[in-house]
Amino acid sequence: MASGWRKGSSCTPPNVPSMQLGRRQRRSDYSSHADQHRRPRESAIGFIGLGAMGQEMASNLLTKFNSPPISSFVIHDHSPSSVSRFIERHASLGPGFGDVVTATTPAGVARLASTIVTMLPSSAEVEEVYLNPTSGILRGLQDHSSPSASSVGTTATTLCIDSTTLDVTCASSVASQLKKEIPGAEMLDAPVSGGVVGAREGSLTFMCGGTEATFGQAQPVLRAMGKKMIYCGPSGSGLAAKLTNNMLLAVCMMATAEAMLLGQRLGLKADLLAQVINSSTGRCWSSEINNPAPGALLPTKTTPADRGWEGGFASRLMAKDLGLALAAAEAHDEVPLLPLSSHVKELFAALVADKAFANKDFSVIYQWLSQHKK
Ligand code: NAD
């Protein structure tokens, strides 16, 4: 069991420089009975995965959630610098917000918080964080539910919201294992659209899979981080919706890039061509909002293409989502042929194999195509 840290303790919590732990930040994986009365698990929220998206989502959750007020906000990420960044960012929050508590394992988060949001890279990390037999969320819930534990209840009533984009089957399997082992635990797959900007502005769209009751229960948490919550059906349905949307988006972006390149080779200027397409039947989000050709939407809008395709939705994430969508198709009988999507998946896989492109906005497929002439 990881060592705990209490206010006044001489023990500096591992990984986090002591100067960064202000009055409201503590490190603890284990709370004593007395501590739990001061900071009850029922009104504590946990957040695991403080990366590009998670950092912003967690910040909104900590500062906007208020029904009921959060007793403590328990964070975990296996990268110490992500944890430190979050702590530094919120060091000056005044009273009225929950204490920020760090846990060294996901199990530590589960022991301390009855609502847990996870935002991780993909399937392998979600399996690790939820099901690792010694450090996972399930382990923490088992400890908390054990009759010999110092905690009060015998079952860990817990709401887990996973916003990772991952494999549909893996998500459903993790949710059912959690439910089977811990009857009081409920899990929602709630992948998002809106990117880092939407995460920062708290305007994400959540596509949710689980029971309707769990979806209802999750509303106050989701409202602190997003604007639109769509119930898609049973466990895995949120991911099915997310992956099919992104598959369509990739195909539309690829087609827009091809059209913008061909039109310019035929002598049209990028902005004129965009104006024509956006007043005609070829119009789509990729032509109108995130046009892949530099200058196409200027001066009205700037796009990642106008910044050297920096920022936006990374090509490596789009390649991952295409892989997941096609894997979901393969796992099912009687799925229609997906010729366009399959080909676009291969092209994105080739693109991200080149490190110069992998982290750029996925509209960089335009530049990649322009370098691959027939
Ligand atoms: P990221 O790589 O920036 O963040 C992931 C975080 O998880 C990192 O801080 C990492 O240290 C942490 N992590 C990884 N493994 C861990 C483990 N075993 N235990 C604890 N922490 C661990 O990724 P991101 O851009 O924030 O994306 C997160 C998810 O959201 C992905 O599934 C992605 O596809 C999806 N998404 C991203 C965007 C976007 O624009 N970035 C948009 C929509 C959806």
CATH number for 66? 3.40.50.720
Q: How many angstroms separate the CA atoms of 210 and 107, rounded?
A: 22
Asked if 51 and 164 sit in the same domain, the reply is yes
The set of protein residues with a Cβ atom below 6 angstroms from ligand 1 is: 48-54, 77-79, 82, 119-122, 125, 128-129, 164-165, 192, 195-196, 313, 317
> Of 192, 185, 194, 240, which Cα lies nearest the Cα of 217?
185
Task: Assess whether 242 carries a catalytic annotation.
Answer: yes
Asked if 56 and 171 sit in the same domain, the reply is yes
Asked if 365 and 224 sit in the same domain, the reply is no
Q: How far is CA 194 from CA 202, 226, 255, in A?
A: 9, 9, 21
Asked if 215 and 289 sit in the same domain, the reply is no
Q: How far is CA 117 from CA 23, 74, 126, 140, 186, in A?
A: 24, 10, 11, 15, 12
Task: Say how many domains are in the chain.
Answer: 2
Q: How many angstroms separate the CA atoms of 242 and 249, rounded?
A: 10
Q: What is the pTM of this model?
A: 0.88
Residue 284 alpha carbon to ligand 1 centre in Å: 28
Q: How many angstroms separate the CA atoms of 94 and 170, rounded?
A: 40
Asked if 168 and 65 sit in the same domain, the reply is yes
Q: Domain for residue 5, yes or no?
A: no
Per-residue pLDDT of the chain (374 residues; tens, 9 = 90+): 333 322 222 222 334 333 334 445 555 554 444 444 456 999 999 999 999 999 999 999 999 997 788 999 999 999 999 999 999 999 888 777 778 999 999 999 999 999 999 999 999 999 999 999 999 999 999 998 876 554 444 467 999 999 999 999 999 999 999 999 999 999 999 999 999 989 999 999 999 999 999 999 999 999 999 999 999 999 999 999 999 999 999 999 999 999 999 999 999 999 999 999 999 999 999 999 999 999 999 999 999 999 999 988 999 999 999 999 999 999 888 888 899 999 999 999 999 999 999 999 999 999 999 998 77
Bridge-partner residues for 161, per DSSP? 117, 188
Asked if 225 and 288 sit in the same domain, the reply is no
